[in-house]
Amino acid sequence: MSIRIGIMGYGNLGRGVELAVEKAGDMELKAVFTRREPGSLTIRTEGVPVVSADEAEGWQDKIDVMILCGGSATDLPWQAPLCAQWFNIVDSFDTHAAIAQHFKDVDDGAKKGGHIGIISVGWDPGLFSLARVYGHAILPDSRAYTFWGRGVSQGHSDAIRRIKGVKDARQYTVPVPQALETARRGEQADFTPRQMHTRECYVVPEEGASEEDKARIEQEIKTMPHYFDEYDTTVHFITQAELQEKHSGLPHGGCVIRTSRTGKEDEHKHVMEFSLALDSNPEFTTSVLVAYARAAYTLSKEGQTGCRTVLDIAPSYLCQEGAAELRSHLL
């Protein structure tokens, strides 16, 4: 019998989950839930209903795992604990500073409903967290360096779009090559944000913008606290057509590098590196979500309840093959 999947929210992530479920041999998409008018939405999969999010509670016995595709800022903090009362859930909550609270809220909801909730799934947090934890466990007296990019940061792009006179924008986060080399060489360096990443901005000004307008926009970007002021930032003004043509994708990636030394006199260097190069950040993220939806289903079948993260889940739970088959083909 297939694992019956629901999608909550049909933006970039929701569409990505739909594609990933299609490729999973053991899953079936049962419904897409939206806060928009359901009739206004056309989805890829034929024959699957689009349902108002308000009616989700009524689908409890038709869905095994609900994959939450909302945003971390305003959707997931209330949606995940609530949905965990009704379903096993998986989300991609990525506000690092608020994970402890989110974990507690989802744990409460999931235990109340007798379900499993897996939070903060994706590639960072997610696969990069795994790389950090495996590295930390194996080479304890060392540091991990996480580099992001080259890729589009949606948070930074949004921040630029909120500036007066900006029509559209894309921001790329780019690792500094010298910092990458230093980390790989195993020097346990202390980097400032500026030493690790640069920020490239492609900005479409509103029509009729003067040179002074552009100068002000550039200045506002470069001095924006936290987002840009701690980085070397370059600003390129382009047309909407050029943005569409050259910057419409959502590529991303990066790497986690851990180096350490062992030996009688620490004479042996070791470098562990996990890297990703992704043409579509949302489609890869949702591929991870779907693998962890399988784990949520199996854990729930075992009678487990409560909140989990990727750190709490054995790799074999992500696969549809049995343990013996994994041992013979992939170990």
Contact set for a copy of itself, span 174-213 (CB under 8 A) = none
Contact 279, 251 (CB under 8 A): yes
- With beta carbons less than 8 A apart as the criterion, state whether 75 and 9 touch: yes
Tokens 């869905």, located at residue: 63
Q: Which is nearer to a copy of itself, 201 or 291 (CB)?
A: 291
Site string for a copy of itself, 88-117 (x = CB under 8 A): --------x--xx--x--------------
Q: Which stretch binds a copy of itself (CB under 8 A): 1-9, 149-157, 240-248, 317-325?
A: 317-325
Measured from the CB atom, is 225 or 322 closer to a copy of itself?
Answer: 322
Binder of a copy of itself out of 79, 153, 287, 298 (CB under 8 A): 287
Q: What is the C-alpha to C-alpha distance for residues 308 and 230, in angstroms, rounded to an integer?
A: 34
Site for a copy of itself (CB under 8 A): which residue of 78, 279, 301, 302? Answer: 279
Start-to-end CA span in the chain (Å):
27
Peptide bond into 150 cis (omega under 30): yes
For residue 206, the 8-state DSSP code is P
Distance CA 96, CA 74 (A): 15
Q: Which residues pair with 186 in a beta bridge?
A: none
The answer to whether 269 contacts a copy of itself (rule: CB under 8 A) is: yes
Q: Given the rule CB under 8 A, which of 66-74, 107-115, 123-131, 172-180 is the region that contacts a copy of itself? A: 123-131
| All residues at 6 or more sequence positions from 246 whose CB lies less than 8 Å from its CB, including other chains | 202, 238
Taking CB under 8 A as the rule, does residue 127 contact a copy of itself? yes
Q: Which residues contact 58 (CB under 8 A, 6 or more apart)?
A: none
Kindly state whether residue 278 participates in binding a copy of itself, applying the rule CB under 8 A: yes
Residues in touch with a copy of itself (CB under 8 A): 16, 19-20, 23-25, 44, 96, 99-100, 103, 120, 125, 127, 129-134, 136-141, 262-264, 267-280, 283-284, 287-288, 291, 294, 309-316, 318-319, 323-324, 326-328, 330-331
